[in-house]
């Protein structure tokens, strides 16, 4: 594509061109400016799709549950998009996407669009490219968008910024309460699912989780939904809860949006700091001074931020292009 025009790309996506949609998602992953210009064009038309975030530790059964949710909505004639975010192997920077394998039934749904995305270690979590991918899928005409995220660490905070409902999937073999608390997984889910209820001590684990939820949440917490995704047991109840949520008006939007913008802004800032640290000759001088104990690390860090603000690089380049 030589000198593609963002408006044209946007129009092609809106007209249902999957090739272009897919390429634009790749450009978002690569951080190419034009992709963000396309998002600018399509964003005004978005907001109607129902976005379901599914998170939880590896092996919890997220893909199996997504397969069932997608099939449920697919049978109802809804157009569906799935974004499966797999971890990137930090060492080799490669990735192996195995989620598609477990979406055996979903794959057969007419018109379903399934896209695997590598986490690629974005410091802001998954927000940056995944948000754009959601917009692209919605512009393509998808009404239900399911995002599956890697279930470790603090990246889970960001899936809640780009979802209308977050389903956290746990299993009885996940470990004890302390682990759950540390992982912070229980703090962001709207619906908690205890899958693999056929495992030992499953009911005890459910009680542990319900106890923890009561102690941390201010409002009446939702009871844990018990499932065996493999066989379908308990899944009907999950569908009911999701549908209830879909029927309600989107609440708490402003706060989520604020958090999303904060995460995106931090991401931008992080890139700018990286650039300065790599290219600016003043950095090496400062590092020397810290090594010689002439200034302390806190002061140097503040100086780096000052360099950023003084240079005004962000203001001139980035903001001018946005106007």
Interface ranges with another protein (CB under 8 A): 18-19, 22-23, 25-26, 29-32, 89, 92-98, 100-101, 104, 107, 113-116, 118, 120
Considering beta carbons, is residue 104 or 302 the nearer one to another protein? 104
Q: Cβ(31)–Cβ(132) under 8 Å?
A: no
Q: How far apart are CB 187 and another protein at their closest, in Å?
A: 29
Query: In what side-by-side order are the strands of the sheet with 50-55?
Result: 113-118, 80-86, 144-148, 50-55, 165-170, 191-194, 225-226
Q: How far apart are CB 171 and another protein at their closest, in Å?
A: 23
Considering beta carbons, is residue 181 or 269 the nearer one to another protein? 269
Query: Residue 93: left (phi > 0), alpha (psi -120 to 50), or beta?
Result: left
Which tokens hold the place of 266? 């931090």
Q: How far apart are CB 15 and another protein at their closest, in Å?
A: 15
Q: How far apart are CB 94 and another protein at their closest, in Å?
A: 4
Considering beta carbons, is residue 29 or 138 the nearer one to another protein? 29
- Rounded to whole angstroms, how far apart are CA atoms 303 and 202? 53
DSSP state, residue 221: P
Considering beta carbons, is residue 23 or 196 the nearer one to another protein? 23
- Rounded to whole angstroms, how far apart are CA atoms 186 and 65? 18
Considering beta carbons, is residue 15 or 89 the nearer one to another protein? 89
- Rounded to whole angstroms, how far apart are CA atoms 70 and 61? 14
Backbone angles phi, psi at 36, to 5 degrees: -70, -30
Please state the length of the chain. 323
Considering beta carbons, is residue 146 or 166 the nearer one to another protein? 146
- Rounded to whole angstroms, how far apart are CA atoms 16 and 101? 25
Q: How far apart are CB 32 and another protein at their closest, in Å?
A: 7
Q: How far apart are CB 89 and another protein at their closest, in Å?
A: 7
Considering beta carbons, is residue 97 or 239 the nearer one to another protein? 97
Q: How far apart are CB 57 and another protein at their closest, in Å?
A: 21
- Rounded to whole angstroms, how far apart are CA atoms 22 and 314? 29
- Rounded to whole angstroms, how far apart are CA atoms 181 and 186? 7
DSSP state, residue 231: T
């Amino acid at each position: 594509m030589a000198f593609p025009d963002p408006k044209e790309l946007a129009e092609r996506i809106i007209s249902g061109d999957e090739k272009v949609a897919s390429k634009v998602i790749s450009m978002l992953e690569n951080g190419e400016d034009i992709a963000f210009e396309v998002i600018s064009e399509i964003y005004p038309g978005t907001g109607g799709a129902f976005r379901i975030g599914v998170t939880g530790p590896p092996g919890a059964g997220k893909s199996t549950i997504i397969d069932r949710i997608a099939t449920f909505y697919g049978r109802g004639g809804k157009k569906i998009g799935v974004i499966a975010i797999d971890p990137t192997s930090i060492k080799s920077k490669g990735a192996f996407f195995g989620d598609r394998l477990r979406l055996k039934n979903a794959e057969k749904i007419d018109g379903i669009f399934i896209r695997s995305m590598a986490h690629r270690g974005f410091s802001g979590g998954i927000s940056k490219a995944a948000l754009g991918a959601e917009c692209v899928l919605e512009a393509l005409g998808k009404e239900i968008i399911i995002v599956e995220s890697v279930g470790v660490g603090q990246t889970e905070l960001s899936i809640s910024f780009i979802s209308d409902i977050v389903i956290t999937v746990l299993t009885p073999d996940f470990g004890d309460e302390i682990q759950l608390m540390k992982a912070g997984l229980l703090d962001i889910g709207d619906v908690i699912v205890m899958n693999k209820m056929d495992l030992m001590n499953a009911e005890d684990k459910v009680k542990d989780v319900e106890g923890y939820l009561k102690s941390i949440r201010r409002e009446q917490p939702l009871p844990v939904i018990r499932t065996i995704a493999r066989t379908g047991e308990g899944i009907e109840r999950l569908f009911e809860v999701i549908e209830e949520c879909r029927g309600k008006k989107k609440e708490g939007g402003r706060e989520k949006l604020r958090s999303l913008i904060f995460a995106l802004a931090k991401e931008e800032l992080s890139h700018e700091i990286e650039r300065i640290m790599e290219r600016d000759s003043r950095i090496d001088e400062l590092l020397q001074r810290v090594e010689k104990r002439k200034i302390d690390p806190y002061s140097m860090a503040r100086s780096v931020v000052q360099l950023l603000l003084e240079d005004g690089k962000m203001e001139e380049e980035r903001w001018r292009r946005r106007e």
